[in-house]
């Protein structure tokens, strides 16, 4: 048997094991419950509400986009789910447990990559499994498999600074998935990418999600992106952020870019545009004393 064929068979075997492990760890998990959630921050000697009385229920395996005008509290709500921000009042649970700190069971991908610049791509992805107690060999094996999944197997020895923005974000996704999280939290991860790279990343993300069925909560201000990716679009008001709409997206899956010009897609887009425009105008009037 040639080395190339043997390597390919091993890669397929690793991927099958990875999928089985992820499914066994994540099956039925990733239920997010938000009840009467209110988040305030100190502001000019007083308090300013960023999220106000949010109510939200996300079922295991759903892909939900948080959409709204700039400054509406989307990222604040996501950071509360991650355990980076503590609610002022209300309840936030994942699989029935209160969220009070970050956890490897909740993977996070930021708009700007947070990779360690002094570590190779492989070591960045292996970092989480190592911290969770995996051996060096096991952690590197997991890293290589996930890097293969995001199309970066050939770059495992590269450093983040030598990669393009899209490649860095793919490493970030691989790193977030390497702990087999039941919930994947994404804060405008493709916002800084050019249009063509962004489309490629959206398609790649949907392929990964179909494979592992993590619960995904994805923050974006891009309406096309929200409609293309999600099962549901949760629309937030201008600050303070309230949930003003929860739109179920029934477009067929798997989704392809041809969907972007369909009548059904445009109907969802128009509905979201109207809501966002109303909230943006309201915010503008508030800022100008209207």
| Domain map (residue ranges) of the chain | 3-114+182-287
Closest CA to 225 of 245, 252, 255, 246: 255
Contact 128, 138 (CB under 8 A): no
Closest CA to 272 of 65, 33, 79: 65
Q: Class assignment of domain 3-114+182-287?
A: alpha beta
Residues of the chain short of pLDDT 50, as ranges, are 1-13, 16
Going by their DSSP bridges, the two strands 243-248 and 232-236 should be labelled as antiparallel
3 state SS of 30: coil
Q: Tell me the per-residue pLDDT of 145-192, one tens digit each, with 9 for 90 and over.
A: 999 988 899 999 999 999 998 999 999 999 999 999 999 999 999 988
Contact 192, 109 (CB under 8 A): no
3 state SS of 123: helix
Q: If you ran DSSP here, which 8-state letter would residue 161 be given?
A: G
Q: Tell me the per-residue pLDDT of 200-215, one tens digit each, with 9 for 90 and over.
A: 889 999 999 998 899 9
Going by their DSSP bridges, the two strands 97-98 and 243-248 should be labelled as unpaired
**What is the dihedral angle through the alpha carbons of 182, 223, 189, 187, rounded to the nearest 10 degrees?**
-60
């Amino acid at each position: 048997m040639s080395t190339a064929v043997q390597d390919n068979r091993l890669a397929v075997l690793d991927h099958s094991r990875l999928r089985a492990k992820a499914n066994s760890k994540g099956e039925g998990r990733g239920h997010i419950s938000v009840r009467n959630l209110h988040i305030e921050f100190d502001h000019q000697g007083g308090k300013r509400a960023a999220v106000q009385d949010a109510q939200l229920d996300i079922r295991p395996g759903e892909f939900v986009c948080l959409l709204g005008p700039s400054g509406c509290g989307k990222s604040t709500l996501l950071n509360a789910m991650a355990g980076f921000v503590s609610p002022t009042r209300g309840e936030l649970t994942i699989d029935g447990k209160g969220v009070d700190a970050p956890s490897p069971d909740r993977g996070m991908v930021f708009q700007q990559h947070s990779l360690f610049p002094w570590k190779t791509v492989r070591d960045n992805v292996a970092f989480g499994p190592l911290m969770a107690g995996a051996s060096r060999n096991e952690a590197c094996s997991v890293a290589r498999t996930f890097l293969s999944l995001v199309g970066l197997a050939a770059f495992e020895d590269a450093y983040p600074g030598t990669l393009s923005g899209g490649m860095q974000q793919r490493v970030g996704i691989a790193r977030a998935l390497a702990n087999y999280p039941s919930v994947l939290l994404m804060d405008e991860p493709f916002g800084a990418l050019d249009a063509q790279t962004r489309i490629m990343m959206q398609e790649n993300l949907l392929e990964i999600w179909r494979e592992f069925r993590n619960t995904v909560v994805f923050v974006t201000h891009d309406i096309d992106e929200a409609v293309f990716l999600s099962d549901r679009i949760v629309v937030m008001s201008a600050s303070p952020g309230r949930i003003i709409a929860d739109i179920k997206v029934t477009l067929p899956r798997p989704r392809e870019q041809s969907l972007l010009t369909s009548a059904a897609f445009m109907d969802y887009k128009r509905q979201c545009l109207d809501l966002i425009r109303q909230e943006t105008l309201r915010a503008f009037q508030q800022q100008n004393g209207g």
